[in-house]
Structure 1
């Protein structure tokens, strides 16, 4: 599991996907959310505006597993 440190109180799922370099631009977030199964804390999630906080676990099937931490 890869740890991703953020400097803010939270990050949205769309921002997170771009932050981990899964996509080259923010415009592709919608595609990723449609084509990949994403879990936040073991619950399937497809809203790009979903807020992620330190301690949250994100699993993107076929890409990786991540934990949000506070920097």
Structure 2
């Protein structure tokens, strides 16, 4: 599991994907989220603006990311 450190209260899902280098661009993140390919805390998430906080887990493309 990869750890992603944030220094704010939360980060939006699409911004997190770009920040953690899961995708090349925000547009790519938007498309992948809309297609239901991203899981947040074990559930499919199609909201690109979903607030991700410390302790959340994001799964994408066979990789797990823990927000610290």
Q: TM-score, normalised by structure 2?
A: 0.85
Q: What are the ranges of 5 or more consecutive residues in structure 2 without an aligned counterpart?
A: none
Residue aligning to 1:3: 3
Q: How many residue pairs get matched?
A: 68
Residue aligning to 1:12: 12
Larger radius of gyration: 1
Q: What are the ranges of 5 or more consecutive residues in structure 1 without an aligned counterpart?
A: none
Q: TM-score, normalised by structure 1?
A: 0.82
Q: Which runs of 4+ in 1 moved over 3 A?
A: none
